[in-house]
Every structure is written in C-alpha cells, then in structure tokens.
Structure 1
Amino acid sequence: MAFAGGSFAPGQPTTASYRFDSYRLTYRYLFHDGPDWRWQVGFTAKIRDAEVELRQGANVARDSNVGFVPLLHLHGERRLAERWRLILDFDGLAAPQGRALDFAAKAGYALTPQWTLAAGYRVLEGGVDNDSVYNFAWLNYAVLSAGYRF
C-alpha cells in the first residue's frame, strides 16, 4: 500500500494518527434585536491545519495540509430571563470539493452586560473529496464558552 510517498506492507502492524486543528475569526452583523430574539449574520474565516501519519516500524509517512475555508455564519440568542439565554451558532458552507457544517446550542448566563458564560452541545460535520484526498468526520461534543460583547 502506498501513502504520502511511503510504501507499507499489507498485514503488518501499522499505527495511524490524525490531527485536525482549526482557527477561526468571525464577523457578525446585527440584523434583528427584538424583545425576545437577537439575530446576527456574517462570515467566518477558518484556517484548518490537518495531518495524517502512518507508521510501520521505522517506516513513517506523513501528509499535512494547511488551508483557508470561508464559512457563512448565523448567530441567534433567545432571552429566557434577565440573565439567561439560549444561544445558537452556525458556521457552514458546502461546495463540490467538500463541506464544513458546525452547529452549537448552548445555555448562557450573562455575568455582566458584556460577559457571558455558556455550556451546551456542538456537532461538527464535514470533509473533503477531491482527486488526492477523501476524508469526512462527524464529531459530537460538549462545549463550554466565554463570550465578550463590544
């Protein structure tokens, strides 16, 4: 079997590692601020840093890639009480080469008018399908966050 310039014998113990780091910067525009709901729309600039490594004894092959992924963004907050919020966040975009879909639902508590702490559930699904790579993942996890409003 061939991978990233390396050759691996079939039937031999092989270890694999997969790392996928991402960094994001989001811009939001407030388009609705009603008595119950607050909605913002914008875009997210995501930098993804991926690496796959196969190791068979001393034989090691590694494929790494860093790239920019533009995403559409939607953020909603439902005021539940004076300090409590339901917070919905979505980043996503799909193209023939792949997709990235990231959704979070959180309960938030406003410590001050600027600072909010939140906890909830997040699902991230996406990947790439092109001539050299086919890789998709679906991740579900708990999330804690701190937010600051300017």
Structure 2
Amino acid sequence: MSSFISRLLKSPLASKRLVSQLTQRGERKLGALLRELGLQRVLGALGIKEFVGVANRGIATTPVSNKQLTDDLELATGIFKRELMLRKAGCTDPWSMKKPMKRGAGRENDPTEVPSAFDGRIVGCICLGDRSAKWMWLEKGAPKRCECGHYFVLKNVPAV
C-alpha cells in the first residue's frame, strides 16, 4: 500500500470508501497532486468529498415552489397592453371581430358605414353570385362604389 493511502487511513476523517474510490480511480493522479502540494493533512479539513472527483459533485438547485409568474399586464407593451386593459374593463371584443359586418342598404344616399379610426381602410365586398371578395380602398369623406353597385363610406370611431 502506498504511503498516501496509509496516511489517509491514519487520519481521523478518512474513510474506507474514500480509500477505495482513490484506488479505483487511480491513486496516481490525485495522490501525486496532493503529495506535490503537501495537502494530505488539509484534505480532511476541507472535506474529503471535494477532492474525490467530478462524479461526486453536488448539484445546486433553487426552489421554484415559492416563486410566482408576473402578471401579463406588467409585461405587455403598446397596443397589446391597451387591449388587455380594455378586456379588464369589460370590453370582450375591442376590435369588433367576433361577428362580421353585414351590408346595409348600400344605396348612394344611404351607404353602408364601415367603422375606422384612420383616414382610409381596405374593405372587401362579397358580391352576389361570386364567392370571392372584391377588395377596395375606402378614403375618408366620399362614398365608394363596388362593382356590384353597393356603396360604402367610412364612419369615424375612436382608436383603441
């Protein structure tokens, strides 16, 4: 038995398990390093398991059971934050998208009003006998006529 292992057996903090681990992993590398540095006596004071090897290192974890996720309103910015505030106030459909807008009379003197907070909006008209929408750009002020003869005009609404 080498002098390093015999010294470890004599020290009060050395265990047989440590000695067997050192001999299995190769006493040459660890023992030579400790002999060079003169750390045989310090080995017990610092904790034997620290020098045993990488396989016995402890893994530190932080408990997440006491943590809470932040509120969406704190993280949200811009228009999404305004939408969340409107939903909190009770407006479940701030963009009016739950039901599609139906055409009104659509005559020149009584056009279908399309709500918009801006000076222009793209509108699609599903004409009779056609399954695809005819898209047109509505400008603020004058009514716009579709190919089918239906009239649309912009109605000013407040922005969200």
TM-score tier by shorter-chain length is: under 0.3
TM-score, normalised with respect to structure 1: 0.22
TM-score, normalised with respect to structure 2: 0.21
Higher-Rg member (1/2): 2
Q: Which has the higher strand share?
A: 1
Q: Which has the higher helix share?
A: 2
